[in-house]
Structure 1
Amino acid sequence: MEEFRIGVEVLLDRGALDLEKSPFGILANQASVDRHLVHTKDLLSQRYPKTLKCLFSPQHGFRGEKQDNMIVSSSYEDSSTGLPVNSLYGENRAPSPEMLKDIEVLVVDLQDVGTRVYTFIYTMALCMMACRRDGKRIPGQVIWEGTNVSEGRGTTRPFEMFGAPYIRATELKERFLARDIPGVVLREIAFEPTFSKWAGETCHGFHLHVVDADLLDIYYVSLCLLQDVMDLYPDGFEWKAPPYEYEYRRMPIDLILGSRTLRLNLEQGADLANERKTWEEELSRFREDRKPFLLYE
């Protein structure tokens, strides 16, 4: 039988969020521990002492020291790490821009019992909305990890920009603009990664600037850019080979996209607008299928 592991243990084993290079914060409470009852803050501060920048506390406080019914917490300095502990159950119910300005990733490790009166899930939702407001992480750009195109690792703007030595930015931009996709502007750039793919070589590509987050579908944008790169540069473009995230057989891009079907469709020149319509229809069916099981509207 496969061993059961808690989320923070999986995170430490896999390093999936690249916390060694990404400044991050932690939203946690007294129940945020591993199987040995070591707190998530202690685990992550020991592993990533240079990039853990701040802590966030939900209702009842970071250590569960506050009681119920509007007993608020104040922000303070953590005694063991010296890090600021930002209260999200007091004057602020969601992280302010000031609280998020120094981090790129927010790790949430809260246990919830699934009852409506528990506030933790709402705190997490407000954090997600705040991260969206402040432009934290652009998940669609992670698809470049499954290719030989640099996703910007080794620069100060990973996932915001991408490129490769074989890309000619002007013609790629012309191809992409013909799709007439709203919400994003591509700015031509050249960069030299200091590590990771194409380290020390000049890559040509783009810095993505979000101009309308409400219109932007970054996953679709990234897929369109990927297809354009594949089409324009067949002699330069390559899929990344395994292993990837402890998987030694399947293609990394298949893990990132969720199946091999989309990769095969991309290779065959599929119409991505139709692909998008298909997954939106599947999402709509899922939402209908789940309705009988929802306890609340």
Structure 2
Amino acid sequence: MPFRCAVLDDFQNVATEVVDWSVLGDGVQVVTFTEHAATEDELVAALAGFDCVVTLRERVAFPASLLDRLPRLKLLIASGMRNSVIDYTAARRNGVTVCGTESSSTPPVELTWALLLGLARGLVQETTALREGGPWQSTVGADLHGRRLGLLGLGRTGSLVARVGLAFGMEVTAWSRNLTPERAHEVGVRPAASKEELLRESDFVSVHLALSDRTRGLLGAAELALLKPTAFLVNTSRAAIVDQDALLAALREGRIAGAGVDVFDVEPLPHDHPMRTAPRLLATPHLGYVSRANYERYYGQAVDGIRAFLAGEPVRLLG
């Protein structure tokens, strides 16, 4: 019986093209799934006959209730080296080895700026009007030079976003609970005295924090109310950092100029999800890590992980 491996959520149907899985030999059978399984029952039905599952990021949760129903599963590989939706205790109890891959080689800096620039220049509205015969010029763009960019988080991604902002001639400030003045000055930005100051004074706010108990719901209705009515918010980090209902209310009521979002509370978004029709929203379907270089890294190291597991020497263990 071959060692069967399921690759989940291969929406673009490229997982077996970007890297060579044949190096695993004839004893390994790889099956890709291009459609998302929305329920646990669907996952059990799809994965019951597999020894290994490769999953991208935290799109599919593996709680105890699911792992307990997959007795054949022996190896779970998730992209990245941190995953909050896998029950590691249940995995160990069920004899499932959990491995990861290196993190993104290209963090979502480029997409952050694509969203920010798209918002500033009203690209969706203007492009739609151009294609559909609408008015010629209906928006007035927001300038970047001389405006303030506020960064929530100044880690690897936030620092790179900051440097681009400085190149645009923006005044860049940053805040996080652990940010020191020395770190801010090293990057060339001003540390904000508080989160509230950053929100009140920024023309553009971009979120670059890891999701944790401390950051979940960090921006709620009270915090969003501090933003200028001309301010834009960008989130390419994690949806749960920003209260989704509060963000929708702010957009619908015109209390902020707009938001650029790449992450959502449910992914893929249901067809009737309010984020699909929210005004003043530039949204992309979690494209921050979707690049050829990242896929080559994720899937290439998944192949390495399977080969190492079958040799009895698993690598990049998680949990």
Kindly indicate whether structure 1 or structure 2 has the higher relative contact order, using CA contacts under 8 Å at least 6 residues apart: 2
Give the TM-score taking structure 2 as reference length: 0.24
Give the TM-score taking structure 1 as reference length: 0.25
